[in-house]
């Protein structure tokens, strides 16, 4: 089994279903309330683990009820929790999520302990990171930590996937250390200044990211699947047509599934196809971690 190390966030997601998303100044009466484990790092770790990956999560959580619940839930998924750090000062991260009747969402995150996962914290876990087949990281942790991991992976020749979410500008010198970058349309626009509205504009954005030094660019396109651009080829990988219930966490499921497939030496386009299918299944369910499919479900869809 090839190991996957996920470095990122752990949150508790508090979700309210509504008829429509509120506009500024509007108060609306919502429907059902749900509370789920979340955070991009934890979501992606669960996604990879449910497909059969050997996963270690490196994250910082609060020494509180949400943090303790997170540890137990992550452990129950078969994920190695030995690299989770309890922060004695900051509270665990929380995300407030509103989901409308079409499955679209808006999310506000209080980062809490996630904002305190610093490079110094990772030094004790260097052997774990250096033995990984692939490292997966997002942007819900400090930029200094993202840069540190990128430099480490580049020096030690460890494959690195960066999911640049939430959308943010990145320093130009970071790109050359990335084997894979996986923005969605909005994140690709943030990184390149190119508004992604269709396949030609997605291709222009992907080529712009390639020009910055990334080896492989994978732009996720929601219902349209994903666009893969490498030095050797450009290819659109379609998704399945499904009934969308909740898009929360779909990108995280995609990235976890992609890490699983690449860690197990799947060919790139096959790996992206697996990730698209996993994400498509996830949007038919509520929640982030709770929506991630198991490998047997992928086989049923395949």
Catalytic residue among 87, 121, 246, 252: 252
Query: What is the rounded CA–CA span in Å between residue 99 and residue 109?
Result: 15
Pairing of strands 159-162, 180-181: parallel
- Report the b/e string of 219-252 with b at 16+ CB within 10 A: bbbbebbbbbbbeeeeebbebeeeeebbbbbbbb
Catalytic site includes residue 252: yes
Considering only CA atoms, which of 206, 236, 223 is closest in space to residue 277? 223
The rounded distance, in Å, linking the Cα atoms of 36 and 14 is 7
Helix (H) or strand (E) holding 122: helix 119-122
8 Å CB contact between 284 and 275: no
d(CA 201, CA 45): 31
ω into 131 cis (within 30 of 0)? no
C-alpha 48, offset from chain centre: 10
Active-site annotation, residues? 252
């Amino acid at each position: 089994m090839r190991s996957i190390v996920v470095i990122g966030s752990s949150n508790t997601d508090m979700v309210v279903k509504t008829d429509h998303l509120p506009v500024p100044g509007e108060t609306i009466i919502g429907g059902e309330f749900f509370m789920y484990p979340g955070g991009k790092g934890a979501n992606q770790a669960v996604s990879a683990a449910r497909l059969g990956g050997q996963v270690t999560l490196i994250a910082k959580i609060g020494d509180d009820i949400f943090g303790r619940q997170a540890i137990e839930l992550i452990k129950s998924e078969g994920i190695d929790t030995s690299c989770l750090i309890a922060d004695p000062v900051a509270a665990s991260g929380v995300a407030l999520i509103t989901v409308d009747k079409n499955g679209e969402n808006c999310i506000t995150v209080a980062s809490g302990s996630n904002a305190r996962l610093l490079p110094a914290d990772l030094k004790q876990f260097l052997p774990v990171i250096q033995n990984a087949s692939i490292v997966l990281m997002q942007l819900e942790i400090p930029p200094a930590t993202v840069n540190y991991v990128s430099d480490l992976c580049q020096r030690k020749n460890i494959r690195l996937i960066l999911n640049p979410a939430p959308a943010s500008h990145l320093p130009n010198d970071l790109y050359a250390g990335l084997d894979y970058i996986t923005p969605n349309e909005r994140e690709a626009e943030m990184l390149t200044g190119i508004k992604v509205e269709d396949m030609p504009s997605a291709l222009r954005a992907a080529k712009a990211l390639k020009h910055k030094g990334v080896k492989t660019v994978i732009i996720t396109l929601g219902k349209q699947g994903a666009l893969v651009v490498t030095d050797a080829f450009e290819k659109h990988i379609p998704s399945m047509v499904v009934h969308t219930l909740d898009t929360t966490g779909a990108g995280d499921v995609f990235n976890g599934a992609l890490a699983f497939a690449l860690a197990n030496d799947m060919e790139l386009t096959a790996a992206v196809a697996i990730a698209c299918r996993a994400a498509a299944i996830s949007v038919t369910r509520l929640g982030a971690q709770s929506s991630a499919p198991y490998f047997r479900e992928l086989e049923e869809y395949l």
